[in-house]
Structure 1
Amino acid sequence: MLLTPKERGYFFPAEWHPHEATWITFPHNDHSWQGDKLHHMYPEYFALIKAISQGEKVRINVNNIELRDFILGELSSYQIDPNQIELFIRPTNDAWCRDHGPAFLIKNNNRDRLLLDWVYNAWGGKYPPFDDDDRIPKSIAQDLRLECISPGIIMEGGSVEFNGKGTVLTSRSCLLNPNRNPHLNQAQIETYLKDFYGVEQVLWVSDGIVGDDTDGHIDDTVRFVNEDTVITMVEPKVDDDNHQVLAQNLSELKEMRLLDGRPLNIIEIPMPDPVVIDEFRAPGSYANFYICNAAVIVPIFQCPQDAIALDILGKLFTDRPVIGLSAREIIWGQGSFHCLTQQEPKSAL
């Protein structure tokens, strides 16, 4: 009988663990950004690439040669160092590398790494085709010559949040949704999380925010900023559709205890003003930040709460700068910076 990654000593490190690189999948699907909006989001996307590349390689899944040539032609326009960019031509469907990309596990002080290849079905089969994206983890494993393990169930990187010390946070609305793994109950899903991510404890909140087509990914609502501190989004306006669900999540967080019995240190951040595009409310949230080597990159939406969120996060992250980048065009695709990225932890080799 094969040993699980946990039994072999592997675990998924916290996002603030040093990175070898960040993986992204370059957007090309007109349906995700409704045609002309795809090109409108490119300046924000290249700004994200530039910010990440200040401290680590950016490894990009590129759908074809034409898209590769487009990217190479744009790097100088955005003053991006081409030596920090690595392009891998492989078929792709969409841009959300957090969900379809591999999960990197480490052990032995980073001397050993392996990849998890969860099944990906585009958030319950909402956006076919997704077969090319589902193949990306195995393809990356071949490029990096790393072992790749397939647990055999559906899982998305945006649905789980780690403190690097044995705890994972997730949401019932997503992982218990019948459009993911209807044959598994909560206890069985917890077993998968523990065995394959190398954690000891699973903590559950209820739901996600309005406009989130992932059925409530945790990376729009609650994030670890260190091993015992989380930020959680709150909506002060009681008539807002997000008010009650975020209040419920906050109430649940207050009852949680870490492995050593400590309560969570909970920091509240107010939601941005609603981001409404063509009468659709997009899932704008400051929780969808990305922690890379050079900075914490926070999506901002040109509203008064931007400054509040950046100030709060700036006081929490003292080891790297916190920067705000516009995400008003990117959010039309119903995701932001964390959804677009997947970290590759640094190797000690």
Structure 2
Amino acid sequence: MTPKQQGFFFPAEWHTHRATWLSFPQSSDSWDYGERLERIYPSYMAFVKAISESEKVCINAKDETHQALILTLIEKYGIDKNQVEVPIHPNNDSWCRDHGPAFLINPETKQRMIVEWGYNAWGGKYPPYDDDDQIPVRIAKYLNLPYVVPGIIMEGGSVEFNGKGTVLTSKSCLLNPNRNPHLSQAQIEEFLCNYYGVEQVLWVTEGIVGDDTDGHIDDTTRFVNEDTVLTVVENDENDENFLPLKQNLEDLKAMRLLNGKPLNIIELPMPDAVYDSGVRLPASYANFLITNGSIIVPIYGCEKDKIALEIIQDCFPKHKIVGIDATEIIWGLGSFHCLSQQEPIV
């Protein structure tokens, strides 16, 4: 029986968490230079501290030396060590949203399960990724949870859930031949429904410029409740993101939820373009993380930061909005949502 047939589903991100999982940054394709790696520590540890204020933080360490470094930084940055777990789980890179476990819950039986999707570093772009591919199994064993293996490539940043039977994703990513070339769109939808426990798959067209994942949904459109999405828009017609984000907005306006209702759509500005060495980076306010007590939002030192934070606060009036500078972290081509994967309670 599939997880869906057994009554399991992937809850919305605002469902209460036991913890948030991270894979601590290390020297790899994302953080290739020692200096660049150390420059992200202040923002990264501020991120860890913000999560720890309302839930546990579990940080995958690649080995004992890495584990010792993480524990030293936890002390240095004044983080409550009782709120942090640092298991040794060998990994290749820091993007836990994509290589980490997909946690399913069954409210009737009070059980949890992990989906161990295949992982190929966004179409084989950044080998090696063999350790990352094993992270869900390692965490399942760490937590003594059952796991299921669908046998296809899937990344957590490519899917967005409302917790009521709907998943949002993008054609540019999941239909890219570098993921599952043997599967049709209908077959991919069947896997999503069976293994995430959803009833409906809704598709936007594109991602943002500079996104090496081929267009993850968590950089463009996020559910903030079961029928409302925040979606980024670009008002500058000369910006490279103007047309793809305009198309996504049109896609969203045409969508209907399972109850037949249209989506409530709230527009979120894009930050000013962020470049490094002439390369456009995928900076977006949509890459926020929802925790039990806060919404952790990447900011970029521009005037639009304040506008974005106010819009997000209006969407989450019971949460504390925490803006953390992401100008160093985005150099790795991802931000706070990309770095994390929530572990729900049941």
Question: 1:30, CA displacement in angstroms?
Answer: 4.0
Equivalent residue for 1:14? 12
Question: Residues of 2 paired with 1:83 and 1:109: CA distance?
Answer: 31
Alignment of 1:1-349 (within 5 A): 3-35=1-33, 36-108=35-107, 111-347=110-346
Q: Map Cα deviations across residues 212-253 of structure 1 (whole Å, 9 max, x no partner).
A: 000000000000000000000000000000000000000010
Quote how far apart the aligned CAs of 1:109 are.
Answer: 5.2
**Per-residue deviation, 1:67:** 1.2
Question: Over aligned residue pairs, what C-alpha RMSD do you find?
Answer: 0.9
CA distance in 2: counterparts of 1:17 and 1:215, whole angstroms: 28
CA distance in 1, matches of 2:343, 2:25: 20
Per-residue displacement from partner, 1:309-332 (whole Å, max 9, x unpaired)?
Answer: 000010110121111111110000
The CA deviation at 1:34 is 3.2
Q: 2:97 aligns to what SS in structure 1?
A: helix
Deviates more, 1:332-341 or 1:21-30: 21-30
Poorly superposed stretches of 4+, deviation over 3 Å: none
Q: What are the Cα deviations for residues 153-192 of structure 1, in whole angstroms up to 9, with x where unaligned?
A: 0000000000000000000000000000000000000000
1:19 is aligned with what amino acid? Answer: H
Separation in 2, partners of 1:118, 1:72: 30
Alignment-mate amino acid for residue 32 of structure 2: Q
Moved more, 316-325 or 182-191: 316-325
User: Could you say what secondary structure the match of 1:285 adopts?
Assistant: coil
- Is the CA contact (8 Å cut-off) linking 1:51 and 1:294 kept in structure 2? no
Deviation readout 1:3-47 (Å, 9 max, x if unpaired): 100000000000000000000000112431230211101111101
SS in 2 for 1:269: strand
The SS at the match of 1:338 is coil
Output the CA distance in 1 between the equivalents of 2:283 and 2:31.
15
Question: Using the alignment, how far apart are the partners of 1:260 and 1:122 within structure 2?
Answer: 36
Distance of 1:33 and 1:252 partners within structure 2: 35
Alignment size in residue pairs: 345
- Separation in structure 1 between the aligned mates of residue 199 and residue 66 of structure 2, nearest angstrom: 42
- Cα distance 1:109–1:290, how it changes in 2: closer, same or farther (>3 A)? farther
Distance 2:310 2:327 in 1: 20
Q: Secondary structure at the match of 2:189?
A: helix
For residues 68-98 of structure 1, give each alpha carbon's deviation from its aligned partner in whole angstroms, at most 9, with x where no partner exists: 1111112122110000010111211000000
Matched residue of 1:286: which SS?
coil
SS in 1 for 2:337: helix
Task: Give me the whole-angstrom Cα distance separating, in 2, the residues matched to 1:344 and 1:60.
Answer: 12
How far apart, CA to CA, are the structure 1 residues paired with 2:224 and 2:179?
A: 28
8 Å CA contact 1:110–1:346 kept in 2: the answer is no
Paired residues of 1:159 and 1:175 also in contact (CA < 8 A): yes
How many angstroms apart in 2 are the aligned matches of 1:76 and 1:60? 14
Q: Which amino acid counterpart does residue 7 of structure 1 have in structure 2?
A: Q
| C-alpha contact (below 8 Å) 1:209/1:220 kept by paired residues | yes
11-20 or 70-79: which moved more? Answer: 70-79
2:28–2:92 contact (8 Å) kept in structure 1: no
Segment drifting more, 226-235 vs 108-117: 108-117
Residues 29 and 126 in structure 2, CA contact (< 8 A), matched pair in contact too? no
Q: In 2, distance between residues paired with 1:110 and 1:155?
A: 26
Query: Is the 8 Å Cα contact of residues 25 and 31 (structure 2) preserved in structure 1?
Result: no
SS in 2 for 1:288: coil
Letter in 2 for 1:99: D
CA–CA distance in structure 1, aligned partners of residues 202 and 109 of structure 2:
26
133-142 vs 101-110, which deviates more? 101-110
* Structure 1 residue identity aligned to 2:255: M
TM-score norm. by structure 2 comes to: 0.98
Cα distance in 2 between the residues matched to 1:160 and 1:292: 18
CA distance in 1, matches of 2:156, 2:264: 23
In structure 2, C-alpha distance between the alignment counterparts of 1:4 and 1:210, rounded to whole Å: 36
SS of equivalent residue, structure 2 residue 10 = coil
Q: What stretches of structure 2 of length at least 5 have no aligned partner?
A: none
SS of 1:118's equivalent in the other structure is coil
Asked if the contact 1:310/1:322 (under 8 Å) is kept, the reply is yes
